[in-house]
Amino acid sequence: MSFATPLILSVGETVYIQTRALGARNATTNQPAVTYGSFDPDDFDEDDFFVSVKTKIIMNHIQTSEQDLHGGRISMERQQGFLPGDVAVNHMDRLEYHSILYEVESTETPEYHLGEVGFQKVNLVRVSP
C-alpha cells in the first residue's frame, strides 16, 4: 500500500469537501443554480454521506496576490494541498478548511505508487471574504 494516504490521514488537517451540483435552470438566464453539499457534524444524518466528504489534507504552500478592480482591491489567496488519492474531488468543488471556504481551482491526476493510489494535488483559491 502506498505510504502517502496513511501519512495524510495521520498528520493532515481536517477538511470538508463540498461537492458541487447544478440545480434548476433560471427562467431568464437559462443558467442552472449552483449548490454545494454541506457537511454538518452537529446534525449528522444520512445526507452527510452523500453531499460532503470529511477527510484530511496536507497543505503545501500559500501564495497571495492582490488585484485592483474598479470596485475595490481583491485578495487572491491560493493554497496547494495533498488529499488522499481515493477521495473524489472535482474542479469547482469547494473545501472548507478551518471554517474558510476554498474553491478547487484545479485537480491533478492521483499519483500511483506500486500500483496503489497515493495522493492527489489540489489547487485551491479562497472564496470566503
Partner 1 sequence: MATTDPLTTIYTGISGALGDIHKDDGAAHASVLHIWEYGPEAFKHLFYDEDYDVVITYGLPQSRSQRLIQDVPLHFQMAYPVTVTSVDKPMEGVLLCTGMRMQYKVTYALRAAVASIAQSAPAAVPAYTLAVKSDSSTYKRVGGLYVYETVHTLEYETDNG
* Contact flag: residue 106 with partner 1 (CB under 8 A): no
Q: Among residues 53 and 93, whose Cβ is nearest to partner 1? A: 93
* Contact flag: residue 90 with partner 1 (CB under 8 A): no
* Contact flag: residue 22 with partner 1 (CB under 8 A): no
Q: Is 36 helix (H, G, I), strand (E, B) or coil?
A: strand
C-alpha 125/C-alpha 102 separation (Å) is 5
C-alpha 98/C-alpha 101 separation (Å) is 8
Exactly one of 10, 73, 98, 115 binds partner 1 (CB under 8 A); that residue is 73
Q: Give, as ranges, the residues between 27 and 66 that touch partner 1 (CB under 8 A).
A: 28-29, 33-36
* Contact flag: residue 71 with partner 1 (CB under 8 A): yes
Q: Is 123 helix (H, G, I), strand (E, B) or coil?
A: strand
Q: In the complex, which residues of this chain contact partner 1 (CB under 8 A)?
A: 23-24, 26, 28-29, 33-36, 67, 69-77, 101-103, 125-127, 129
